[in-house]
Chains A and B, each alone.
Chain A
Amino acid sequence: MDEPDFTKLAEAYASRLYAVAYRLLGSRADAEDAVQRALTKCFAARADYSPRWAASTWLYRALTNVCIDELRRRRTAVTAQAEIAREAATEKPAGAPERVDLERALARVPREARLLLALRYVDGLSYGELARIRGISVNTVKSQLARGKSIVRATLGPGQRTRRRAAGDEERSSGRTGRTAGGTKEPRK
């Protein structure tokens, strides 16, 4: 792959790569650094790029390798959560509680599952492509995604309940707490 082709490819994927990195690392500066490192690596290896690979697989593999290693350095989940909370406090205006809740819920999801969720929802990648990016089986991809989503669902459950109550849903007022707790797992629609 020559340089103009690589530049075109990088331009095409930059915002998606950045979105994945930002959602995984929780900070704009770290996300930019991760994308830069991944692109530097791919740029250096562009001569070895084989067209039998999808270009997206190649770029996402490089990016996820950088992001996973960055997450390794953050020793405790507490640090990452504090960072996400700080970022949320500085960058998100008040009135976006759902986003902060979701970030907190995602911080509880194990790294591998969080990575797959980010790839899946930023670019809508198929299970097969996720499996190729991380070098795992399609079944593992499915089980990791399901596990990640169930953790998010379980973490958001109580919050959803309060919001629905606050919205003034009369049926869910006091006296029916048992039903309400069960109802939190139902789809919102």
Chain B
Amino acid sequence: MMDWIDDALAAHFDTALAPAGLVQRALRHARRRQVTLDRLIDRFHIEATARGVRRIGFGRRGRAKAEPGGAHAERARQELTEYLAGRRTFFSVPVDLDLPDFQSRVLAEASRIPFGDVTSYAAIAARIGHPRAARAVGNALGANPVPIIVPCHRVVRGDGTWGHYAFGPKLKTALLSLERSVPTLIGCTSTRIVCRRGCRHEQRIGEDRRVAFASVADARSVGYRPCQVCRPRDG
């Protein structure tokens, strides 16, 4: 049954004209060789103890050390590889950090920044109860022993510029733009289950069965249920 709401919506949605040359620009962009981060994995060196990852370094040379924490190092390498290829949005490998209280609180706060999001040094300082300590937060993040796993690249300056990054501003830009193009919640259209990107069940979903969701509540509202393995949650 058509009513005035239908007329109003039809008129409303009818008016946006695509800018000229949109398709050409998109195709030019699509043909351009995409910058891929996944080749960088060989440049990360990962140190781990029996309890978890202790340090991630970045440089020209380096291999994972097969120390007692070899299993954790191996898992961290696997998760990093998936992350850099845009197939993972969270890390489940444990970390083993022995840090001063202030730095641990800063890193714990930085770990809460969702994938694809950014926050400022000052906001972190305020959240840990030291609103004037933005610079100290910067120093604490600069000395982050496990970059990427603790996402210090998601912290930027209050004015919107990137600020410093231990692995260089290019990598910070590349990581942030990777995160901008990867959805975090993926539903499978045949099972109607929604997973976090990176869950082993999510990785088995075929390309033609993937739908992205903005929140678990959204997914539930249209008949999807959260995965019981990766347990996606909102907020």
Residues in chain A within 8 A of chain B (CB atoms): 7, 10-11, 14-15, 17-20, 22-23, 28, 31-32, 35-37, 39-40, 43-45, 48, 50, 53, 61, 64-66, 68-69, 71-73, 75, 98-99, 102-103, 106, 110-112, 117-118, 121-122, 134-137, 140, 144, 149, 152-153, 156, 187-189
Contact = CB atoms under 8 A, between A and B. Distances in A.
A176 to B, nearest CB: 21
A64 B186 CA distance: 12
Interface string B203-232: 000011111111100100111100000000
Given A140-B222, A153-B5, A188-B4, A18 B214 contact: no
B212 A39 contact: no
- Residue of A7, A43, A73 with highest tally of chain B CB at under 10 A: A73
Contacts of B5: 149, 152-153, 156
A28 B22 CA distance: 12
Given A15-B18, A110-B218, A68 B192 contact: no
Interface string B7-32: 01110111111110011011101110
B184 interface: yes
Contacts of B222: 112, 134, 136, 140, 144
B114 to A, nearest CB: 9
Contacts of A31: 16
A103 B25 CA distance: 29
Interface of B: 3-6, 8-10, 12-19, 22-23, 25-27, 29-31, 34, 116-117, 180-181, 183-185, 187-189, 192, 207-215, 218, 221-224
B16 A19 contact: yes
Contacts of A102: 8-9, 12
Given A35-B22, A65-B212, A44 B30 contact: yes
Contacts of A48: 207-208
Nearest to A132: B189
Q: Which secondary structure dominates chain A's binding surface?
A: helix
A72 B214 contact: yes
Given A43-B30, A111-B214, A137-B223, A121 B16 contact: no
Contacts of A37: 181
Nearest to A53: B208
A15 B17 contact: yes
A14 B218 CA distance: 27
Contacts of B29: 36, 40
Contacts of A66: 212
B27 to A, nearest CB: 6
Nearest to A7: B27
Contacts of B10: 121
Nearest to B189: A135
A153 to B, nearest CB: 5
A14 B27 contact: no
B16 A61 contact: no
Nearest to A58: B208
A17 B13 CA distance: 11
Given A18-B16, A135-B189, A39 B218 contact: no
